[in-house]
Amino acid sequence: MFRLDAPSRTLLFFGARLRIEEFWLFLIAVLLLVFGFFFVTLVFGRVWCGWLCPQTTLTDCVEYLDRRAVTVLGNGVAARAARHLVAALFSLVVAANLIWYFIAPYDFFPGSSMVTLALSPG
């Protein structure tokens, strides 16, 4: 897809031959791509970060669980430890759900290093 042929001073780019004299076309294409990326980031970056980003959604869920735990448990040291435990359990469920996209839960648990506490499987 991309090859620089030094003896003939040509750049092979997706089947097109660009001689060294035509390299400014490649430079303009790369600059347009970079500025296009910056423009899309500038225009749609807040939409992604504010509404669609999974990290924002998970943070909102943990903050909601934390507010609910404060109303139920209060604000003491034991309550703070319980709130951290709730956040850790939520993180564990999200991480397990992500892993289970690639490994079925029935295959994951029997030989899992999480269950046997082994560093290497087998």
More confident residue, 78 or 48: 78
Q: Give the model confidence (pLDDT) of 1-34 as tens digits.
A: 788 888 888 888 788 887 777 778 778 989 999 9
d(Cα 87, Cα 82) in Å, to the nearest integer? Answer: 9
Tell me, what's the pLDDT at 121? 53
Q: Where do the structural domains in the chain lie, given as residue ranges?
A: 52-103
Using alpha carbons, select from 66, 111, 100, 70 the residue that is nearest to residue 86. Answer: 66
Which letter does DSSP use for residue 51 in this model?
I
pLDDT at 42 over 90: no
d(Cα 35, Cα 92) in Å, to the nearest integer? Answer: 40
In the predicted model, what is the mean pLDDT of residues 81-90? 90
Q: Give the model confidence (pLDDT) of 88-117 as tens digits.
A: 999 888 888 888 888 887 777 766 655 555
